[in-house]
Amino acid sequence: MSKTETEPHTESTMSQQTIKVVSAADFARNFGAREAFALDILVGLSEQRKRIPSQYMYDAEGSRLFDKITQLDEYYPTKCELDILERCAGRFAELADNQPFNLVEFGAGSALKASYLIEAFLKHNLDFQYVPIDISHSALEKLADDMTRRFPDLELTALISEYFTGIKWLNNRYRRKNIAIFLGSSIGNFSHAEARVFLRSMWNCLNNGDNLIIGFDLKKDIELLVKAYNDSEGVTAAFNFNVLERINRELGGEFDISKFRHIGTYDVFSGAMESYLVSLEAQDVFIDAIGRSFKFGPWEPIHIEYSYKYLESDIETLAAETGFEVIEHIYDSNRWFIDSFWRVKKTDSNG
């Protein structure tokens, strides 16, 4: 391989031909978070079925509103999972093998739910370190300070990283088992195909015998579901409208929020709650960072978010398809939610 193929950002002249090799770092310096946001909005609003990726709902204001949602009477998933963790954290400690391990949390947030597991694991004198992984530097700093005060004997390594990059770093640095936790009903925000890709990617990063604790919101009475995503105080609507306000704030958008309506509906075929913002009239909306307007017809929707619901049989099929073995399902008191304990299964032939 020639020198110009291996060294980044080099130039040479050969027979009046200029060769320039541009590295990933060169691109990164010129393509920041704002540009990525603008590109995703351009792509999403240019499609026949307009959409906005749900990841953009969780800026500071969106996160504040979501925390408020979790406290609403109609919104049951958070209460159900807290019920599981309050009653059954000791059971998860029993399921963990008595060997040193990393307790790895994806998207830790405030670590409220993980705290129940940490407390139980410490009481059972398990040898572990807590490894929250998140891309937010400030969030992880606050989490580390809070957890150090609450659990002074806790070994903690916070990773500012993408999820799977963080797992690979851990595996290279520590010869320990991993118990990964993906709590909430976060897996429900993926389509079934996306969930398989995500979990198989996780499987690739984990080692044979590692464990995963993963939350699933179960299929249940449809009226209960619809009320949870259309609360009487309008907080869920505000949460969804915030993504348009974020486009206005960060990309110079000109969305008039009063000309849209929030709708949360259940698709009985896919088994998903779906959130939309629907244009109430024909309108054009200009976005400065993109440099163009987007046309909306009357009653035309923008898809905002999926939240897929599962049967127990769906969970077991998903685990088997992605290389995991279900060890135990742990339910809340109403049997509306499951935190499932899985084991990674690998052979010499599949990694």
In a structure prediction context, what are the per-residue pLDDT tens digits for the chain, which is 351 residues long?
Answer: 444 444 444 444 455 666 766 555 555 555 678 899 999 999 999 999 999 999 899 888 998 999 899 999 999 999 999 999 999 999 999 999 889 999 999 876 778 899 999 999 999 999 999 999 887 777 888 888 899 899 999 999 988 888 888 889 988 888 889 999 999 889 999 999 999 999 999 999 999 999 999 999 999 999 999 999 999 999 999 999 999 999 999 999 999 999 999 999 999 999 999 999 999 999 999 999 999 999 999 999 999 999 999 999 999 999 999 999 999 999 999 999 999 999 999 986 554
The length of the chain, given as a count of residues: 351
- The answer to whether 340 and 216 have CB atoms below 8 angstroms apart is yes
- DSSP-based three-state secondary structure for 205: helix
| Cβ within 8 Å of residue 88, ≥6 positions away | 330, 339
**Rg (alpha carbons) of the chain, rounded to whole number:** 23
Tokens of residue 204, six digits:
């690739």
pTM tops 0.95, yes or no:
no
Residue 252 confidence (pLDDT): 97
Nearest C-alpha neighbor of 72 from the set 216, 260, 264: 264
| Cβ within 8 Å of residue 134, ≥6 positions away | 107, 108, 109, 140, 143, 158, 159, 160
**Rounded to whole angstroms, how far apart are CA atoms 319 and 315?**
6
**Rounded to whole angstroms, how far apart are CA atoms 1 and 63?**
49
Residue 31 confidence (pLDDT): 62
Residue 233 confidence (pLDDT): 95
Residue 43 confidence (pLDDT): 96
Residue 7 confidence (pLDDT): 45
